[in-house]
Amino acid sequence: MNDIYISIITVNYNGMNDTCHMIDSLMQHLSKVSYEIIIVDNASLKNEITEIQAKYKNIHCIKSDSNLGFAGGNNLGIMQAKGKYVLLLNNDTYINDDSLLSLAEFLDSNTTVGAVSPKIKFADSNIIQFAGYTDLSQVTLRNSLIGFGETDLGQYDTPAKSPFLHGAAMMLRRDIIKKVGLMSEIYFLYYEELDWCEQIKKNGFELWYNPQAVVFHKESRSVGQNSPLRCYYMTRNRLLYAWRNRKGLIRLIAILYQFLIANPKGIFTYIFNGRFDLVRASIRGMISFTNMRKTL
């Protein structure tokens, strides 16, 4: 048994079956490391946390009275974590081996690294979802997942620095969190882990992709592309991210680009396709940012 201790945190929201599958995979494969599992229930419509607690006696369950979003839910778990290492793991992920240990070992031997993500594959496949990120454009605020959609032939089997990490599977040392602080909860959905990565880098630490560990993710390759909810939060949060993480003239240009080019282009596309629900969502996102900016 390795003396490394990991706090594994996941947020459940109306996803008990996925959460139980994830827990089962952890319990089946993590035999060489000490760990705790912390499940945060983000006010699921049914009392799922009680059922999860009854099924798994040795995990720590936290019930939130309201849906706090990705950041808020994970922050609740982080505040209860006891491990030297904290692993944020989406509830719709699972593992097939004990390779997660290599993430902690990587952090243990590289003190300049603040956080690390594993290789992530689509569920039940050999197709890559994440093998690092490209850098985020200063103006358009877009980037790409390295390896996305490619068959895994070992082409991304070398650890590498990455400008950002994947929120579905991300491990940090707990002392780094104490220095950097918890995730900002203003985003609710999307961009919160990118913002957190920015804070980690601003504090002088590196972000790395380590393919020695592999996690499988059930998320669809086209998840929520046409959802008004996604459109609203992506529109608003891209602007929030720019406001918080760009300075001076670059910040002004980035925000104007969203208002004058990117968002109008998207709205015209939605109109052409008859998706007036997305038109409304995009406009609401811009208005929401404008209102929030006054308090930031």
Q: What is the CATH number of the domain that holds 78?
A: 3.90.550.10
Nearest to 170, CA basis, from 240, 272, 77 = 77
Determine the pLDDT at residue 221: 44
Q: Is residue 282 part of a domain?
A: yes
The dihedral region occupied by 124, where left means phi > 0, alpha psi between -120 and 50, and beta the remainder, is left
Determine the pLDDT at residue 92: 95
Round the average pLDDT of the chain to a whole number and report it.
94
Question: pLDDT by residue (tens digit) across 86-96?
Answer: 999 999 999 99
Determine the pLDDT at residue 223: 44
Averaged pLDDT for residues 45-50: 91
Q: Which of 192, 217, 242 is the last residue of a domain?
A: 217
Determine the pLDDT at residue 3: 77
Q: How far apart are CA 76 and CA 46, in angstroms?
A: 20
Q: Which residue has the higher pLDDT, 1 or 188?
A: 188
Whether residue 234 sits in one domain with residue 209: no
Averaged pLDDT for residues 55-79: 95
pTM equals 0.92
Buried b (16+ CB within 10 A) or exposed e, 77-89: bbeebebbbbbbb
**Per-residue tokens: 263:** 């968002």
* Percentage of the chain modeled with pLDDT above 70: 97
Band of the pLDDT at 32, cuts 50, 70, 90? Answer: confident
Residue numbers of the domain that contains 109: 2-217
Whether residue 112 sits in one domain with residue 64: yes
Averaged pLDDT for residues 97-116: 95
Burial-class residue 232 by CB neighbours within 10 Å (0-12, 13-18, 19+).
buried
Determine the pLDDT at residue 222: 36
Whether residue 54 sits in one domain with residue 120: yes
Report whether pLDDT(109) > 80: yes
Q: How far apart are CA 199 and CA 71, in angstroms?
A: 14
Whether residue 181 sits in one domain with residue 52: yes
Question: pLDDT by residue (tens digit) across 247-276?
Answer: 999 999 999 999 999 999 999 999 999 999
> What crossing angle do the helices spanning 228-245 and 248-257 adopt, rounded to 10°?
160
Q: Where are the beta strands (DSSP E) in 146-225?
A: 160-161, 169-173, 206-217
Report whether pLDDT(80) > 70: yes
Q: Which of 196, 217, 238 is the last residue of a domain?
A: 217
Report whether pLDDT(220) > 60: no
Q: How far apart are CA 10 and CA 19, in angstroms?
A: 8
Q: Is residue 222 part of a domain?
A: no
Q: Is residue 223 part of a domain?
A: no
Number of domains in the chain: 2
Residue 127 backbone phi and psi in degrees, to 5 = -100, 130
Q: Is residue 46 part of a domain?
A: yes
Report whether pLDDT(214) > 50: yes
Averaged pLDDT for residues 39-65: 93
Whether residue 141 sits in one domain with residue 68: yes
Whether residue 271 sits in one domain with residue 133: no
Report whether pLDDT(219) > 80: no
Band of the pLDDT at 1, cuts 50, 70, 90? Answer: low
Which residues, including other chains, have CB under 8 Å from residue 245's CB and lie 6 or more apart?
195, 198
Between the alpha carbon of residue 126 and those of residues 81, 119, 120, 149, 249, the distances in Å are: 32, 11, 10, 10, 43
Determine the pLDDT at residue 225: 65
Question: pLDDT by residue (tens digit) across 221-255?
Answer: 434 568 899 999 999 999 999 999 999 999 999 99
Q: Is residue 276 part of a domain?
A: yes
Q: Is residue 234 part of a domain?
A: yes
Determine the pLDDT at residue 193: 95
Q: Which of 186, 217, 248 is the last residue of a domain?
A: 217
Q: Which residue has the higher pLDDT, 111 or 2?
A: 111
Q: Is residue 118 part of a domain?
A: yes
Question: pLDDT by residue (tens digit) across 121-144?
Answer: 999 999 999 999 999 999 999 999
